[in-house]
Chains A and B, each alone.
Chain A
Amino acid sequence: MNGNIGETADNREVLLNVRGLKKYFPIRGDQRKSVVKAVDDVSFHIRRGETFGLVGESGCGKSTTGRSIVRLHDVTEGSIEFGGVDVARMSERQLKPFRQRMQAIFQDPYSSLNPGMNVLQIISEPMEIHRFGSRTEIRERTLDFLERVGLKAAHAERYPHEFSGGQRQRIGIARALSVNPEFILCDEPLSALDVSVQAQVVNMLEDFQAEFGLTYLFIAHDLSMVRHISDRIGVMYKGRLVEVAPSEELYRNPAHPYTRALLAAIPVPDPKVRQGMPPIYSESEECGEREEWIEIAPEHFVSARRDRI
């Protein structure tokens, strides 16, 4: 690949390399053994310190991709190289060290914290599992991270239901950060929050990324949310990646009709700008078997039929 775009990006080591990832779910009770192809042959990579945005409509397989990477699913096919080691087919035993290096933050701040545990217990559990020192050391570290995410030490004994959505998401962030991860899967961490709180959480995530050199896979269902935070963005449609490009490039030159449709769905202040946008992408349009993965600009890939380019 040539390095005209993304300035320093190309020099950074690839931390996560996903090749031909497939995740099929069996349809229960179906005699013909048919499957839901939630993720179907997805390949992309993320460099260390980079934020990769993954967008697409509801049900297109974003979460399944993310959860396969952090190995909450057994993958159907493909490889997931993390720091040069393929974790796709590892047993739970072999995964243990990787479970410390990869963490996750989920969308719903209400269901991602155990209602029966207090904040101290919630944040310290990953540290206990990965043996981050004695009880008092873990406790101190927990209080430290509570303050880093803007909460008070006095909050440690409280239970999740006593916090707002934004505060709960901060607790989740503190929990993810506490074990010094390299990579964090952020699965729509903003969708459930008020717009004013979203900005605070995004800033916090960016600050931590700078401080700890974190790598993010950032999932969202609309482009406006990831544009600001992502270095590169992948657009997913029905279990496949249809376009991957650096954020600004994707905004300036969306190539795939589905990407254009997604962009058109973002409210644009000036109505004149909207003109020329294609109508919402329909299934009948080109997207499927005969498409290839074509680099149309440096680091800008699109799934298309070669004869149409």
Chain B
Amino acid sequence: MNNYIIRRIVQAIPLLFVISIVSFSLIKLAPGDPVLSFVTPDMGADDVARIRQSMGLDQPAYVQYFAWFKNVLTGDLGYSLVSHRPVSTMILERIPATFGLMGASLLLSLLFALPLSMLAGAKQNSIPDRILSLLSYIGISIPSFWFSMMLIYLFAVEFHWLPSMGMRTIGVDSIWDILKHGILPCTVLTFINVSVYMRYIRSNTISQLEEDYVQIQYAYGASTGTVLLRHVFKNVILPVVTILGMSLPELIAGAFITESVFSWPGMGSLGITAVHGLDYPVIMGITMISSILLVIGNLAADILYGAVDPRIKTTG
């Protein structure tokens, strides 16, 4: 098992290397010249060239890449082209807001998705199943920004029940205030998450219930509750572990669109602002951190799998 973990970590290193090259190239290929954001109308062509040179942007791409990569290894993600602050500091500042929102919605999503979709799977084609399936289709197909705006319109504009923007009311410093700000974005994220999880867990439940070992359990008198809780649950949780592993980067990187619509001061809005401002160091910093987390998340999922599924242990 330990060998297995070490092997997986070693395999992850070249993967991260490739991801860094790809994301670097993609940003290089993207239209727009970051130097232009420093150019004021009174500058001459040689001033522009000087700025370009001072930022290292006149160097060949591979030189820029290695310079950047060397710094990343020491934790230095460079400076924002817009605010001129260290990218690592900017990212660290944003992590708590994103982590709180994402963590809460992930937890709520599991809390709703697991029982509801197992119920839907166990009572296939029943009325509750049909209603849940319909909701899940809606959740998957509607754009999150539209859903967010509808909620803002209803609960903030029409009824004035909840705030529509930000994380705090200026001058107020209470947990309750933060919670109130979090309700709408959390609802959007949870609804979408549950809709996606539902499709996996429901179909998994259905196929589990058709397995011979479940049929045998019914034959010797196990109740539906026992079968679902003691047996199906254990096997349904496996794909959920994978989904969770894949959600880890989202926990930190945030949901770009939802965070921006609600002006939630997290990594998502940082990312969107950076994209608009062609703030390369910030974009690449966020991309790198998300990729590292994605790899770690998958690794963690694999290890967790081993804990849940006895078959994995011997193949390690």
Q: B231: shortest Cβ distance to chain A, in Å?
A: 6
Residue pair B219, A72 in contact (C-beta under 8 Å)? yes
Are A129 and B211 within 8 A (Cβ)? no
> Across the interface, do A99 and B219 meet the contact criterion of CB distance under 8 Å?
yes
Question: Does chain B have a CB within 8 A of A288?
Answer: no
Q: Are B218 and A72 in contact (CB under 8 A)?
A: yes
The contact string, 1 if C-beta is below 8 Å from chain A, for chain B 206-223, is 000001111111111111
- Verify A70–B311 contact, CB threshold 8 A: no
A267 at the interface (CB under 8 A from B): no
CB contacts (< 8 Å) of A172 on chain B: these are 216
Chain A residues whose CB sits within 8 angstroms of the CB of B231 once the complex forms: 114, 116-117
When the two chains form the complex, which single residue of A99, A113, A114 contacts B220, counting CB atoms closer than 8 Å? A99
Chain B, interface residues (CB within 8 Å), range:
20 to 34
Q: A116-B234, A116-B235, A116-B309 are in contact. Are A111 and B220 (CB under 8 A)?
A: no
Cβ of B222 and Cβ of A125 under 8 Å apart? Answer: yes
CB distance from B236 to the nearest CB of A (A): 11
Per-position contact with B for A60-83: 1 when CB-CB < 8 Å, else 0? 000000010011100000000000
A159 and B222: CB pair below 8 A? Answer: no
Chain A min CB distance to B218 (Å): 6
B310 on interface, CB distance cutoff 8 Å: yes
A116 and B221 contact, CB distance less than 8 A: no
B83 at the interface (CB under 8 A from A): no
Q: Give the one of B213, B217, B218, B309 with max A CB within 10 A.
A: B213
Main secondary structure of the interface of B (DSSP, over half): helix
- Residue pair A100, B311 in contact (C-beta under 8 Å): no
With both beta carbons as reference points, the residue of chain A lying nearest to B220 in the complex is identified as A126
On whether A103 and B311 interact (CB within 8 A), knowing A111-B211, A111-B212, A113-B213, the answer reads no
A residues near B311, Cβ cutoff 8 Å: 115, 159, 161
Is B314 part of the contact surface with A, judged by Cβ < 8 Å? yes
Contact A125 B217 (CB under 8 A): yes
B234–chain A nearest beta-carbon distance, Å:
5
Which among B215, B226, B309 has the highest number of chain A CB atoms within 10 Å? B215
Q: Does A112 have its Cβ within 8 Å of any Cβ on chain B? A: yes
Q: Are A114 and B213 in contact (CB under 8 A)?
A: yes
Task: Provide the residues of chain A in CB contact with B214, threshold 8 Å.
Answer: 114
Query: Mask for A102-129, Cβ within 8 A of B = 1, else 0?
Result: 1110111001111111100000011001
List the B residue with the shortest CB-CB distance to A106.
Answer: B212
Determine the interface band of chain A, counting residues with CB < 8 A from chain B.
35 or more
Interface presence of A148 (CB below 8 A): no
A130 at the interface (CB under 8 A from B): yes
**A257 CB to closest chain B CB, in angstroms?**
34
* 42-98 of chain A: CB within 8 A of chain B: 67, 70-72, 92, 95-96
Provide the residues of chain B in CB contact with A179, threshold 8 Å: 220
B-contact bits for A219-237, CB 8 A (1 contact / 0 none): 0000000000000000000
Query: Once bound together, how far apart are the Cα atoms of A116 and B310, in whole Å?
Result: 6
- Tell me the chain A residues, 201-224 only, with Cβ under 8 Å from chain B: none
Q: Is the CB of B314 within 8 A of A162?
A: yes
Residue of B nearest to A67 (CB): B215
A38 CB → nearest B CB, Å: 15
User: Are B219's CB and A112's CB within 8 A?
Assistant: no
Q: Is the CB of A102 within 8 A of B213?
A: no
A112 lies within 8 A of B213 (CB): yes
Interchain CB contact (< 8 A) of B216 among A112, A115, A118: A112
The 26 sampled A-B contact pairs (Cβ below 8 Å) are A70-B219, A99-B220, A100-B220, A104-B215, A104-B220, A108-B212, A111-B211, A112-B216, A113-B213, A114-B213, A114-B217, A114-B231, A115-B309, A116-B309, A117-B231, A125-B217, A125-B222, A126-B220, A129-B220, A129-B221, A129-B222, A129-B226, A161-B310, A161-B314, A179-B220, A185-B219
**17 other contacts beyond A99-B220, A114-B217, A172-B216, with CB at 8 A cut-off?**
A92-B223, A100-B221, A103-B220, A104-B219, A111-B212, A112-B216, A114-B214, A114-B231, A116-B231, A116-B235, A116-B309, A118-B310, A126-B220, A159-B310, A161-B310, A161-B314, A175-B220
Residues on A lying within 8 angstroms of B by beta carbon are 67, 70-72, 92, 95-96, 99-100, 102-104, 106-108, 111-118, 125-126, 129-130, 159, 161-162, 172, 175-176, 179, 185
Ranked nearest first, the 10 interchain pairs of A and B with the lowest CB-CB distance are A99-B221, A112-B212, A126-B220, A159-B310, A111-B212, A114-B213, A104-B219, A116-B234, A106-B212, A161-B311
